[in-house]
Structure 1
Amino acid sequence: MSSDRDEILHAVSSAVLAVTRHLSVREVLQVIVRSAQRLLDARYAALGVPDDDGSFAEFVAEGITDKQWDAIGPLPRQHGMLGAMLREATPVRLPDLRGDPRFEWWPKAHPVMKDFLGVPISDGDEVLGIIFLANKRTPGGFTQADQDLLTLFAAHAAIALTNARLYENGRELAMLEERNRMARELHDAVTQKLFSLRLTAQAASSMLDKAPGKAGAELERVQRLAGEALSELRAIIVELRPAELDRHGLAETLRKHVRLLDRLHPARVAFECDELPPLDPAMEVAVLRVAQEALHNALRHSGADQVTVRLAFEGKRLALTVHDDGEGFDQGESRGLGMVSMRDRAESVGGVMAVDSAPGNGTTVRVEVDV
């Protein structure tokens, strides 16, 4: 037991210290869950942080593949055993979860879980989350010693989670201050260039008839000033990227967005993702915005039953695909500013966008960008 306790203390100390390496809350939770699964020899392990809407702001699990998650569907709600643990804030150890009256049901594709051990993650009287294990590989199920170790683990996990939140709150405040500074710079730098641009254009217009050579030189200056203003605007837009991208990266930000839409709309919205390399910040912003616009179009206008978002890394290219099985449209007809905006965003980071659609055959939007 002493060696087990030493090992678990080392593991949770790594999780507590993880925030000093600037890991996100989700990454800290993953450290905790993976360590708990390994050290207590469980087939499944999960950790949930509740939100205020009856679901979970964060939910990480080990033992379940992305394909299984897609089949299971949206994040669990705060019902059944998970809801009971959040309300009761006491450890739960069962030989068979299904025999407990607090158990309700699982989605069809959910793996069968038998022996169960769950512990609340608390800070004083506040329940920050719950951590639970299922299907111990060693015969005999979970023991009191396992419960003691997981309780110890949860106490340290509370420190890690609290520290991660403090770190992210501090970072968000710093980002807000930086955005205010950049807003002032935007006003000072870009506004000045646009004013010069207007005066130069007026001067060129007045010279067209009497001095066309000088007018041409002024028009060249207009082009240069417009290019400089555009570059400065793009740089500021990149720095004003969504805070979620800083916390979670493109893949997880888009995954969370898809899960939210799946809960809010009658259509089934699924997400698939390859393992991605580090991405340029401007590329992440552009791809996220294209995905959001394509999803908006599909869910509001296509009448689709199924929408699938996929991020793939193919060779040295990032590929975003948003496909719906909706009504489709005639590509010869004008589709408004949405398509233009998506194409402009893709091209702003050197990407290309293609749209494939026909009446009755759904729509596929695909963006490819060199990484």
Structure 2
Amino acid sequence: MTRSTEGVRADYLWDAGQSRSIAEALDPVLAEIREVLGADAAMVVYRPNPAAGDARVLAASTAREVDPLLPNEPLVFGDVLPRHRPQVLVDLDVASTVRELRLRLHSAVTVPWRDAFGAGTVIVGNLARPLPPASERQLQARCTRRVSAAVRCGRREGGRRMGADLRAALSEVADATASSDDAGSALAAILVSARDLFGSEVAYLSLPEYDTETFTFDQVLGIRTAQFRHLRIDLGQGLGGLARSVQRPVRSLDYASDARLHAAPVAETVREGIVSAMAAPLLLDEQVKAVLYIGDRHLHPFSQTDEDLLGEFAGYATLGLKRRAVEQHRSAVVARQERERLAFAVHDNVVRRLLEIGFEAEAAAQRGDEDLRLRMAVIGSAAEQCMDALRGQLTMLTGEHRPRRAAQVLEEITDVQRATGVRRTSELVGARSDDLVAGAVADALVRIGQEALVNAEIHSGCAHEHVVLDLTAGSAALTVEDDGCGLDADALDRVLVGASPHLGVRGMRATATRAGGHLTVGPSPRGGLALRATIPT
């Protein structure tokens, strides 16, 4: 393998990978050129050796009214760019291949240049007016040496950064692997280090389920939606399935429109907001034991360099993993996920029906004679006791008082079965999605939140429910609002009394009290009710 004097692979150097070092070195040069020539846009594009595929943006400077181009973004041009001499082009079309972005430069000057890694072109132009006379000579004089010098400087700095970042990431993984035989901790360290290495918004890891064909997500960072987190990916399916099939890293700049991806979970990925992603298989004894993903909720033009860097990281990161420990962790993950699926299914069906029985018993007791009232009170009390007992067993089944990430708490709340036609939205305030919530607090928040949502759907006839989880240093506050019919003043007073006859409020208040907190109910700005539970952490 050829190596540069900086100790970084030479084929990493043409674009300096994800470090943006070349763009940072070129930005002031292009800004000055654009100012001197009074141009709307100035860019440097590049094709590495061997010249194949689309040209890539190394850097760009544009006027405010022009859509910005991104480092490493692939472009196509309406005319063939000159290879040997500067040239003036008229009506030059510039288009991105990964998004709806198109420029037409009415007048453009192009200056080609070459180096050891490939061929580049400096392009300066205006959208609607000609460039001033002598622009061609001025641009050639300014960019011949300065552009190539800036690119060399950026490559050196980028190579240095990449080498340092890779060594730091692998050191973190090695420390986690050496200090524990727990495969789950080692895989978590790999996930965090990969996310930090690329500065990505999300990272997630999939493991084989019962066979080697179907993989399911185990650990996730920054993931918000339950639908995405519960995906199962078959061999060859989507980005991760493709990475497993070819047993090397793959990238997708625009996941939703990537024609290479077979049976990809596009709807779930779009709902999660992920636009660009990469996936790399983690190999042990030449077998894929996991798939590592990183991604962003904006267009991130990952390059071949990024793909190679992820592959090198994945290869080194797995050296300390022990096959037996990974298998044991996989078995534990599968068992836990099966328990969670069973618990969620039971809660969505049985607990909800018990809650409805309790509500109906309460309503009938208020209308009937004394004998019927007593019988209905017994039915309602039995339903409430069954719910408490069943919820206790479900908590044990899924891991009693298990700490959860803040995003997972919000996900468990909104995961409860919803009525047809009801829309749910949620937001996390005061914390990152990866911040941990203590087990007892998380249990109380989930129970209160789920019951509040079901209660609103049964009683209010709402069409929209909104959940807010606000975490501070000393407390966790959960607010559930709806746009339903609400309650008049007398009914609200009855709900707010200490010994509320309302089954749902009574249960939620008891849960909050047991956790050391309190519950309030009042009118919602959305027109219905707003329920707020505050629990000390």
Matches within 5 A, 1:348-367: 348-357=514-523, 361-367=527-533
Instruction: State the alpha-carbon separation in 1 of the partners of residues 516 and 486 from structure 2.
Output: 27
Corresponding residue SS for 2:533: strand
Q: Deviations over 1:255-308 (max 9, x none)?
A: 341353489975324242433998776544433322232133234544444333
Correspondence 1:249 to 2:404: yes
Q: Which has the higher strand share?
A: 2
Q: Distance in 2 between matches of 1:143 and 1:313?
A: 37
Whole-Å separation in 1 of the counterparts to 2:511 and 2:307: 55
Contact 1:294 1:322 in 2 (8 A): yes
Q: Which runs of 5+ in 2 are unaligned?
A: 1-6, 9-162, 337-391, 496-500
CA distance in 1, matches of 2:478, 2:440: 15
| Post-superposition offset of 1:339 | 1.2
1:107 pairs, out of 259, 270, 279, with: 270
The TM-score, its normalising length taken from structure 1, stands at 0.57
Q: 1:152 to 1:260 in 2, by over 3 A?
A: farther
Corresponding letter in the other structure for 2:228: L
Task: Say whether the 8 Å CA contact 1:291–1:320 is kept in structure 2.
Answer: yes
Residue of structure 2 equivalent to 1:207 = none
Residue of structure 1 in register with 2:56 after alignment: none
SS at match of 1:318: strand
3-state SS of 2:247 partner: coil
Counterpart among 303, 308, 311 of residue 144 in structure 1: 308
Unaligned runs of 5+ in 1: 173-236
Percentage of identical aligned residues: 19
Q: Partner of 1:47 in structure 2?
A: 204
The higher relative CO (CA closer than 8 Å, separation ≥ 6) is in: 1
Read off the aligned partner of 2:315 and give its amino acid letter.
T
Deviation at 1:347, TM superposition (A): 2.2
Contact 2:178 2:320 (8 Å CA) reproduced: no
Aligned residue for 1:340, secondary structure, equals helix
| 2:454 partner letter | H
**Segment of structure 1 superposing worse, 346-355 or 93-102:** 93-102
The C-alpha deviation readout for 1:12-70, integer Å capped at 9, x for no partner, is 223435766x9x95x7655322211333x354552233697999544524xx6x8xx47
Which residue matches 1:310?
Answer: 468
Secondary structure (helix, strand or coil) at the match of 1:91 reads: coil
1:165 and 2:329 matched: yes
Deviation at 1:340, TM superposition (A): 0.9
1:320 to 474, 478, 495: 478
CA separation of 1:301 and 1:107: change in aligned 2, threshold 3 A = farther
**Higher gyration radius (CA):** 2
Counterpart Cα distance in 2 of 1:278 and 1:142: 31
Aligned equivalent of 2:502: 336
**Structure with the larger helix share:** 1
Distance of aligned partners of 1:251 and 1:262 in 2 relative to their CA distance in 1, 3 Å threshold: farther
> Which letter does structure 1 place at the counterpart of 2:260?
P
Q: 2:228 aligns with which of 75, 87, 93?
A: 75
Q: CA–CA distance in 2 between the matches of 1:261 and 1:341?
A: 17
Task: Decide whether aligned partners of structure 1 residues 83 and 35 sit closer, same or farther in structure 2, where only a CA change above 3 A counts.
Answer: closer
Partners of 1:48 and 1:58 within 8 A in 2: yes
Q: Identify if the C-alpha distance between structure 1 residues 37 and 290 changes in structure 2 by more than 3 Å, giving closer, same or farther.
A: closer
- Whole-Å separation in 2 of the counterparts to 1:260 and 1:90: 34
CA distance in 1, matches of 2:403, 2:461: 31
SS of alignment partner, residue 75 of structure 1: helix
1:1-371, aligned counterparts within 5 Å?
7-16=168-177, 25=184, 30-39=188-197, 41=198, 43-44=200-201, 46-49=203-206, 56-58=216-218, 60-61=220-221, 69=224, 74-75=227-228, 77-78=231-232, 81-82=238-239, 84-85=241-242, 88=245, 90-94=247-251, 96=253, 98-102=257-261, 105=266, 106-107=269-270, 110-113=273-276, 117-121=278-282, 129-133=290-294, 141-142=305-306, 144=308, 146-154=310-318, 162=326, 165=329, 243-244=398-399, 246-249=401-404, 251=406, 253-258=408-413, 260-261=415-416, 267-275=423-431, 282-314=440-472, 316-330=474-488, 331-332=491-492, 336-357=502-523, 361-371=527-537
Q: Does the 8 Å contact 1:355/1:365 carry over to 2? A: yes
Checking the alignment, whether the CA contact within 8 Å between 2:206 and 2:218 is kept in structure 1 is yes
Aligned-partner Cα distance in 1 for 2:274–2:522 = 37
Give the direction of change, closer, same or farther, for the CA distance of 1:305–1:86 in structure 2 (3 Å limit).
farther
Which residue pairs with 1:200 in the alignment? none
Contact preservation (8 Å) 1:241, 1:285: no
Contact 1:267 1:306 (C-alpha < 8 Å) held by counterparts: yes
- What amino acid maps onto 1:110 in structure 2? G
1:108: how far off? 6.6
CA distance in 2, matches of 1:305, 1:273: 23
Cα 1:13–1:261, aligned 2, differ >3 Å: closer, same or farther?
A: farther
Deviates more, 1:262-271 or 1:10-19: 262-271
TM-score by length of 2: 0.42
Aligned 8 A contact 1:244 1:253 in 2: no
Number of aligned residue pairs: give it: 294
Give distance in 2, aligned partners of 1:35 and 1:326: 45
Aligned residue number for residue 178 of structure 1: none
